[in-house]
Structure 1
Amino acid sequence: MKQPHNPTDDKPMVDNRPQIDVPTATETMNAETATGPGLSYWQLVRRRFLRNRYGVVGLIGCLLIVITAVFSGFIAPYDGETKDRTAIYSPPQMPKVFAPEGGLTRPYVLGYAEEMDPNTFEIKFVPDPEVRHNLALFVKGDPWTFLGLEFETHLVGTTDGGFVHLLGTDSLGRDVFSRMVEGTRVTLLMGFLVMAASCFIGTIVGVSSGYFGGVFDMLVQRIVEFVRSFPDLPLYLALVAILPRRADPITVFILFASILVLLRWADLSRELRGKVISLRSMDYVRSAVAVGASDQRIIGRHIVPNTSSHIIVWATYQLPEVILLESFLSFLGVGVQAPMVSWGTMLNQVRDFQSFAAAPWLMAPVGMIVISVLAFNAFGDGLRDAMDPYSND
């Protein structure tokens, strides 16, 4: 039987399904170019790191601190042991650019005059308009050496050869700013030495233990557990206490760094052992074993490169920890010894409340410690995120 004609049948069909945009060939090529096909792993790490503002700021801070340490003799106005006998516990001198009579002038600082409070009989420092020192860049001063060469030019100083104490002076009249800049070199040197030695020992022990396994792995892990079983702080104090106090300061510095290394390599070795155990079962490692590659080649060409990202990130976090530890032990008087200057030895002068109340500017190295720790931690965070370029932001 013939069905009746329905007028709606003549209307075009409407597709209500969601439309999917198919990219054109040009769009696909542009997308591939944006993602950077063919880039190496380290190129991807660099690209991802540069997009991390927090990490870039940390890197800039780290570079500035390292530059300060390398060129400390040029940046510091005076040698760390230079004494100004006329300024004991002198407050910081703030640079001024406005002349007393009004208007702008070249930067200068005012000296201080001592006055006694008639009620408390306490000595106070008040600005003395009669003592004025004009500031200038690239002035001659105390000699300093760099790479065996001797120089006398400093970044900032006075035109008349007088003293300028931007952060005040200590109990012997030594410039706090100059000593803080000089201490940057010693503190960072300690941090880099301990970090590098710990990375070297921990990498060798951890990779060897995880790769060879067996009885060797069992013996090595028992040694690692023995080292990690000691409480850090009491052992540090006990070991540092036996250092010869009459020895040369450089000898004490090296022995102090060795003690720190002795107890800091174990954590990295344990972490690398676990990663190597998982890597040695990968196909490319088994293929290398099948073709007869030696253990040294497999470790050097396949195992260690694939653990380098973990080693680098661990090192960036280890450095601020060593800086804090060295500053703390030197503050207690059991770390770096005079005449070497570090941030911790400078803080050793304000262990009692009276010294802090009389000269709070002696706490200036605390600012450098905080800035350094924050900078290296920020750099480590950015580097940790960049080491996984294929993860989602």
Structure 2
Amino acid sequence: MSDISMNAEAKTGAGLSYWQLVRRRFFRNRYGVVGLIGCLLILLSATFPGFIAPYAPETKDRATIYSPPQRIHIVAPEGGLTRPYVLGFTEEMDANTFEITFVPDPEARQNLALFVKGDEWTWLGMTFETRLFGTVEGGFFHLLGTDSLGRDVFSRMIAGTRVTLLMGLLVMVASCVIGTGIGVSSGYFGGRFDMVVQRIVEFVKSFPDLPLYLALVAILPRRAEPITIFIMFAAILVLLRWADLSRELRGKVISIRSMDYVRSAVAVGASDGRIIRRHIVPNTSSHIIVWATYQLPEVILLESFLSFLGVGVQAPMVSWGTMLNQVRDFQSFAAAPWLMAPVGMIVISVLAFNAFGDGLRDAMDPYSND
């Protein structure tokens, strides 16, 4: 083979499998790669919250209730670079308005360091005491301030990543499995089975989502264990989210089952189960993967919204929505606007997963330019 033909083959992607082409297209999409990096960082935070957060989510510093965020300094007061440190606050009250203000106190300096000893945390049954960063002196510092009980907002936000993301993944996977099974079966078998299934799908989709979510969540037993409420809450979200994927896959399977390779498999006596596993589902996998990447941020937003209203995840479990529940009125927001920090994590996660989904969609498009 000549050098010209080899270069042309490398340029057009000839000789590469479908998934190799998808990978090459995806990593050429900068927007999608940035989204992937953001998703990996969020997953890392959800996997090791005890290591990344400086304190346990329930650790209280009663001396700094509603304390504002502390700024990290790297320049010494006398000039020149120094090791990172933060300054504590002293409270001052206005004699006329009785408003309390926090003034940095140079005498209350706390030096910061990496890999310090802190609150115990567990991972896979193993107990650790090392935290990613903290104070050398063992005191408290609060990058994003504290709440009404003196708990560190940054630590609780990192801990809430696990609960919120676990809810999103659980609902997404369950909806994906149910929607794929019902949609593929309905489109492949057709006939009376398809008619019955589609009437069920239409019945499910006929309900308005939000009012039904609120009605179903309202009947959850409030005296049950938080983990029980968490599972029941996830089941309610799954209840109405599988139908969209089911309807989309049904249409794709109806067109796929008339393809020559499916007819050939039927002609040689392949069973329905083998045809579905080896031919139908693999050819709908790109649609399923892209749907899943878009579904996850939607569930994160829905969980955060319902938990913000107080009808979702319940304490002592920590999620981004339960943290925002503390600032449901204007007075709380005016007194401690830093309690809105989880909004930033919600926005970042939604943008990251959407960017990742856009990159996958473009990479899996067979008509896209390589």
TM-score by length of 2: 0.99
Cα offset for 1:27? 2.0
Structure 1 contact 187–343 (Cα < 8 Å) conserved:
yes
Size of the aligned set, in residue pairs, is 370
1:172-196: CA deviation from partner (whole Å, max 9, x where unpaired): 0000000000000000000000000
Distance 1:34 1:102 in 2: 56
Matched, 1:340 2:317: yes
Matched, 1:122 2:102: no
SS of residue in 2 equivalent to 1:109: strand
The aligned counterpart of 1:48 is 25
Equivalent residue letter for 2:347? V
Equivalent residue letter for 1:232? D
Distance 2:285 2:253 in 1: 11
Equivalent residue letter for 1:203? T
The aligned counterpart of 1:383 is 360
Q: Which of 278, 287, 291 matches 1:314?
A: 291
Q: Which of 248, 253, 256 matches 1:276?
A: 253
1:101-156: CA deviation from partner (whole Å, max 9, x where unpaired): 22221111000000001221111111111111100110111100001100010001
Matched, 1:293 2:256: no
The aligned counterpart of 1:355 is 332
The aligned counterpart of 1:69 is 46
Equivalent residue letter for 1:190? M
Equivalent residue letter for 1:153? T
Cα offset for 1:34? 2.3
With 92-101 and 143-152 compared, the bigger mean Cα shift is at: 92-101
Matched, 1:190 2:185: no
Matched, 1:97 2:68: no
Equivalent residue letter for 2:57? G
Structure 1 vs Structure 2 CA RMSD: 1.0
Structure 1 contact 83–174 (Cα < 8 Å) conserved:
yes
Equivalent residue letter for 1:293? A
SS of residue in 2 equivalent to 1:81: coil
Cα offset for 1:389? 4.3
Distance 1:209 1:272 in 2: 9
Cα offset for 1:25? 5.0
Structure 2 contact 116–133 (Cα < 8 Å) conserved:
yes
Deviating above 3 A after TM superposition, structure 1's stretches of 4 or more consecutive aligned residues are: none
With 45-54 and 99-108 compared, the bigger mean Cα shift is at: 99-108
Unaligned runs of 5+ in 1: 1-23
1:298-352: CA deviation from partner (whole Å, max 9, x where unpaired): 0000000000000000000000000000000000000000000000000000000
1:345-388: CA deviation from partner (whole Å, max 9, x where unpaired): 00000000000000000000000000000000000000000002
The aligned counterpart of 2:108 is 131
The aligned counterpart of 2:145 is 168
The aligned counterpart of 2:64 is 87
The aligned counterpart of 1:110 is 87
1:163-214: CA deviation from partner (whole Å, max 9, x where unpaired): 0100000000000000000000000000000000000000000000000000
Equivalent residue letter for 2:32? G
The aligned counterpart of 2:135 is 158
Distance 1:210 1:389 in 2: 22
* Structure whose CA Rg is larger: 1
SS of residue in 2 equivalent to 1:132: strand
Structure 1 contact 228–266 (Cα < 8 Å) conserved:
yes
Q: Which of 237, 259, 270 matches 1:260?
A: 237
Distance 1:33 1:321 in 2: 39
Q: Which of 30, 53, 59 matches 2:36?
A: 59
With 29-38 and 355-364 compared, the bigger mean Cα shift is at: 29-38
The aligned counterpart of 2:345 is 368
Structure 2 contact 9–15 (Cα < 8 Å) conserved:
no
Structure 1 contact 45–389 (Cα < 8 Å) conserved:
no
SS of residue in 2 equivalent to 1:97: strand
Distance 2:76 2:250 in 1: 66
TM-score by length of 1: 0.93
Distance 1:389 1:280 in 2: 19
Distance 1:49 1:389 in 2: 13
SS of residue in 2 equivalent to 1:244: coil
Matched, 1:245 2:237: no
SS of residue in 2 equivalent to 1:324: helix
Structure 1 contact 239–259 (Cα < 8 Å) conserved:
yes
Distance 1:93 1:26 in 2: 61
Equivalent residue letter for 1:387? M
Equivalent residue letter for 2:99? E
Structure 1 contact 320–372 (Cα < 8 Å) conserved:
yes
Structure 1 contact 44–389 (Cα < 8 Å) conserved:
no
